[in-house]
Chains A and B, each alone.
Chain A
Amino acid sequence: MIALENVHLTLSGREILRGVSLAVSPGDALVILGESGSGKSTLLRVILGLWKPDAGRVSLDGEDIHSLSEGELTRRRKALAVVFQGGALFDSLTVGENVGYRLFEEGVLSGTEIENRVREGLSAVGMEEAIDLYPAELSGGMRKRAAFARAVIGNPRIILFDEPTAGLDPIASHLVNELILRCQQSGKGTVVVTHDLECARRVGRRLMLIEGGQVVFDGNFQELESADVPAVRCFLDPATCAGTMQGVRCET
């Protein structure tokens, strides 16, 4: 289980996270909502232990991750996987090598076994024919799907998604949402960071809204829709936000 307790983080003099607490276990389906720059992606990095908070505690299975040695943290982090916003596939490796990267690094399975697992993973996301292509030859949606296959292959307990549907057409978005749901059905925990309400509605059982680095809402989608919190109302219906568009003109 991942748990954040009262986490604060300041970057370049700006307070990005202010007292954020959350907990995610295998089987959970958490969606973190928020507008751009609200601290969602930063939160993801803190959860992964890539950034150390100024205050508060980040724990993995009850143990503070920042008290662990580098090797121990790497070992324990195998319980987690992440699908980055742009896929973050390694440019110099083929899709197949990207997907099987973790298994190649571990060196436990034979080359043939790894190849079989890679083909299985790619066929699950409908990309078996792209095994020998390089990331530069893929579309945005294909990159996301390949990144998804890479995240799943190590059999993690919790998968984190950073803006999984950003920049995708409706069909590709639908496919990515389906893949997230499939993960949940197999008992994995998912944490999805997004500002896409449709994605949140489909894949989230619990939603949190972050505004200015603080959690301003925590509940399910029905509660979100009926919440009487100004930040929530503004997020759901930006047109009602006073002052948002004041002074914005089309002509130059």
Chain B
Amino acid sequence: MVLAAVEIVLKRFFFAVDGYARLTGRTLSRSFRPPFYLRETVYQFDRIGVESLFIVVLTGIFTGMVLALQGVALLTRFGATSYLGSMIGASIVRELGPVLAALMLAGRVGSSITAELGNMAITEQIDAYTVEGTDVVRKLVVPRFLACILMLPLLTALADGIALVGGFLIISTSTDLNSAYYWRSVIEFLNLDDLAMGLTKPLVFGILIATISCHLGLCASGGAEGVGAAVKKSVVLASIMILVSDFFLTKVFLVIFS
């Protein structure tokens, strides 16, 4: 009885992994080879990128301000406030910017992709596309995938910049640290490795958000309740995968740059 249940769970797991891997492979193979659905792709760039600006700016500014508040409280005790700029810069560019922007997009964009594709799946629109002779991956997945992998690094760069400004606002109002010194300390401490790390991570996170949310949306079944479950799973799984992959990416980058 228990063995049979374990077998069913394992079968479902491997079936899901197989489906995910196949979709990812088909998406990658079609993403850089024409024909493209240009109108659909531009629309997704707008929906995923431009419409996420507000939430990313908000995340960036408050993250930078909180980091500055904590930094001031901590470093004042050791008389090391001159390191505030470098501390905030490194934390934001290496970790907080990419991870927080990706988590925000997993919630905002990932959930909407899964809900949209899930609704199309349960109303047989996906089947209708197939019968009409349309490659569903090319038409529905590739535009979302391209928008995620290209817009997330840009949004992350924006979040990083805004966070540094947020840090500056707090430091300039709550310490007597020279503002020019703050910016110099940020720039001097950051190097090419940090930027490479800070912009490669969003690329990987974008791939994860797009593929996970599309896969779960296309596989949704069981009416509105099934779509709701798929959306929840999509946000949770994408968030977990972002955090797990962040750990391994950081390890790899530290080895490479050491």
Residues of A within 8 A of B (CB): 45, 48, 50, 70, 74-75, 77-78, 80-82, 84-86, 88-91, 101-102, 105-106, 150
Contact = CB atoms under 8 A, between A and B. Distances in A.
A88 B124 contact: yes
Nearest to A41: B124
Given A74-B135, A88-B127, A91-B125, 17 more contacts: A45-B127, A48-B131, A50-B127, A74-B133, A75-B133, A77-B131, A77-B133, A78-B133, A80-B131, A84-B124, A88-B123, A88-B125, A90-B129, A102-B133, A105-B133, A106-B133, A150-B132
Nearest to B134: A105
Interface of B: 119-120, 123-125, 127-135
B170 to A, nearest CB: 44
Given A80-B131, A102-B133, A85 B125 contact: no
Contacts of B128: 82, 84, 88-90
Contacts of A90: 125, 128-129
Do most interface residues of chain B lie in helix, strand or loop, or is the interface mixed?
A: helix
Contacts, number: 46
Among B119, B125, B131, find the residue whose CB has the most chain A CB atoms closer than 10 A. B131
B83 to A, nearest CB: 52
19 contacts: A48-B127, A50-B127, A50-B130, A50-B131, A70-B135, A74-B135, A77-B131, A82-B127, A82-B131, A84-B124, A84-B128, A85-B124, A88-B123, A88-B125, A89-B125, A90-B125, A91-B119, A102-B132, A102-B133
B35 to A, nearest CB: 10
A101 B129 CA distance: 9
A125 B119 CA distance: 27
A105 B127 CA distance: 16
